[in-house]
């Protein structure tokens, strides 16, 4: 059983479960184009793939971004790490890795593909599409995602070689005609997905244009849209979980408490500081979210595997966000990787508007409470040996019995073994 299915079963059986689903969104090629794989600051252990540039036209340094082979290597590396539950890809990357390579065949990770690409993700260079109200559009078909062809053979087929999970996104802008068209297209997709036994999760973006709704009321607008839009949908056509902008604890709890059987997740948005990412997943989980889907926050990280390791430890309650930032910087220092920001800046919490192109102006900057840097430095003591933290009868770490100090020591030891 895939880890996603096991966790969904656990959450459905026990809404108080601590199970938490993490998804890595590596589908940015359906939004950004050439720059989608991200800057070449981080490469997988496989290293660089030589690019054939004409020296009078380009240098590798001028190009500056990973190419597709380097991007695919990073996906393979994240899959091999086995800490993420879902890998979201474009239909073309899904074909390469899932169908042709069989990357997920023996992996606990579930492959998924972006099932639609509405115009509010058309973030190409020099384009003006993001200034317009979102309109529905689908490049990929369900059949292409499942089997790589325009029409899959379905008679007697129980399992397809491709992904059988997709992301479908909707953007409500508070305009009758536009929102009616968005819901009409969503209805058509749902009915096709149900007929083809294709699972999906639903992403609900905040309006990408001025909707006339005050920002402080946006959580109410989105929550009501979700409940109203799914009220007429029976279990067979419902999403396996939701992915929404985190609008704060009040609106997250309101949505989760309305229907405890509805699994709610948060999207990561633009990169921001490391503390932004770690605090977001911590707070969202605390107030009811059971899923986090991070794209740019992972893809822009200085060391993606270490970043993912921190996310997993945070949702498992083994480290707090502030300490995770410091531990992450410790990994970067040990690997001689220059961080995007000094530690002091990376521990700042910024309030950023969620926009897909990442161009939103930072609205405010607030001081981190209990900032670890503001505390008096204590002499570092050597981490205790494995015998100094409690273990189970089978010799595994007993996290339930650990004190905070023992848990921190264990995690530092684990990080040292994993990343040096």
Work out the number of other CB atoms within 10 angstroms of the CB of residue 374.
Answer: 11
pLDDT for 358: 43
Tally of helices (H runs) and strands (E runs) in the chain:
14, 10
Q: What is the pTM of this model?
A: 0.85
pLDDT for 412: 62
Residue 96: Cβ-neighbour burial (10 angstroms; 0-12, 13-18, 19+): middle
Cα–Cα dist 296/128, whole Å: 21
pLDDT for 398: 76
Cα–Cα dist 390/336, whole Å: 33
Q: Name the CA dihedral angle for 186, 190, 192, 196, rounded to a multiple of 10 degrees.
A: 150
pLDDT for 380: 38
CB 58 within 8 A of CB 67: no
- Residue ranges of the chain with pLDDT lower than 50? 352-384
Under DSSP, the state recorded for 387 is: G
Cα–Cα dist 225/213, whole Å: 13
Reported as a single tens digit per residue, the pLDDT across 379-411 is 334 444 555 778 777 677 776 677 766 776 676
Reported as a single tens digit per residue, the pLDDT across 71-109 is 999 999 999 999 999 999 999 999 999 999 999 999 999
Q: What is the largest CA-CA distance in the chain?
A: 68
| Closest by CA position to 278, among listed 297, 264, 252 | 297
pLDDT for 374: 37
What single string gives the DSSP state of each residue in 321-382?
HHHHHHHHHHHHHHTTPPPSS-HHHHT-EEE----TTS-PPP-EEEPPTT-GGGSPP-PPPP
Q: Which helix (H) or strand (E) holds 242?
A: strand 242-244
Residue 231: Cβ-neighbour burial (10 angstroms; 0-12, 13-18, 19+): exposed
Start-to-end CA distance of the chain, whole Å, equals 32
Cα–Cα distances in angstroms (integers) from residue 184 to residues 174, 211, 273, 295, 415, in the given order: 15, 20, 38, 28, 48
pLDDT for 381: 40
Q: Domains (ranges, CATH) in the chain?
A: 3-375 (3.20.20.70)
Cα–Cα dist 310/71, whole Å: 21
pLDDT for 353: 39
Angle at 86 (CA atoms; ends 116, 291), nearest 5 degrees: 90
Q: Which helix (H) or strand (E) holds 80?
A: helix 68-81
pLDDT for 309: 97
Under DSSP, the state recorded for 397 is: B
Rg, the chain, Cα only:
22
């Amino acid at each position: 059983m895939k880890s996603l299915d096991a966790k969904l079963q656990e959450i459905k059986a026990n809404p108080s479960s601590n199970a938490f689903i993490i998804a890595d969104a590596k589908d940015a090629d359906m939004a950004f184009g050439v720059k989608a794989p991200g800057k070449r600051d981080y490469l997988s252990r496989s290293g660089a793939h030589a690019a054939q540039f004409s020296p009078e036209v380009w240098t590798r340094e001028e190009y500056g971004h990973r190419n597709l082979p380097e991007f695919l290597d990073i996906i393979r590396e994240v899959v091999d790490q086995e800490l993420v539950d879902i890998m979201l890809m474009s239909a073309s990357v899904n074909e390469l890795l899932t169908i042709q390579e069989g990357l997920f065949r023996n992996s606990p990770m579930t492959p998924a593909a972006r099932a639609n690409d509405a115009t509010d993700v058309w973030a190409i260079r020099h384009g003006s599409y993001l200034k317009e109200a979102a309109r529905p559009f689908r490049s990929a078909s369900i059949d292409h995602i499942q089997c790589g062809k325009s029409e899959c053979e379905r008679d007697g087929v129980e399992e397809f070689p491709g992904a059988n999970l997709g992301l479908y996104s909707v953007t409500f802008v508070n305009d009758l005609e536009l929102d009616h068209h968005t819901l009409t297209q969503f209805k058509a997709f749902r009915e096709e997905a149900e007929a083809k036994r294709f699972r999906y999760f639903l992403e609900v973006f905040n309006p990408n244009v001025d909707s006339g709704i005050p920002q402080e009321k946006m959580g109410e607008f989105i929550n009501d849209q979700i409940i109203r839009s799914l009220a007429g949908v029976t279990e067979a056509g419902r999403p396996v979980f939701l992915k929404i902008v985190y609008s704060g604890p009040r609106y997250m709890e309101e949505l989760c408490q309305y229907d405890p059987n509805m699994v709610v997740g948060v999207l990561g948005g633009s990169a921001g500081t490391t503390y932004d990412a770690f605090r977001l997943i911590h707070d969202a989980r605390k107030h009811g979210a059971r899923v986090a889907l991070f794209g740019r926050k992972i893809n822009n990280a200085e060391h993606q595997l270490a970043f993912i390791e921190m996310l997993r430890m945070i949702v498992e309650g083994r480290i707090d966000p502030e300490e995770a930032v410091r531990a992450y910087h410790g990994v970067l220092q040990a690997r001689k990787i220059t961080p995007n920001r000094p530690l002091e800046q990376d521990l700042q919490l910024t309030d950023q508007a969620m926009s897909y192109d990442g161009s939103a102006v930072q609205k405010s900057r607030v001081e981190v409470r209990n900032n670890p840097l503001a505390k008096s430095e204590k002499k570092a003591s050597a981490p205790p040996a494995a015998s100094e933290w409690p273990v189970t009868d089978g010799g595994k770490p007993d996290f339930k019995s650990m004190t905070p100090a023992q848990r921190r020591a264990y995690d530092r030891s684990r990080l040292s073994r994993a990343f040096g």
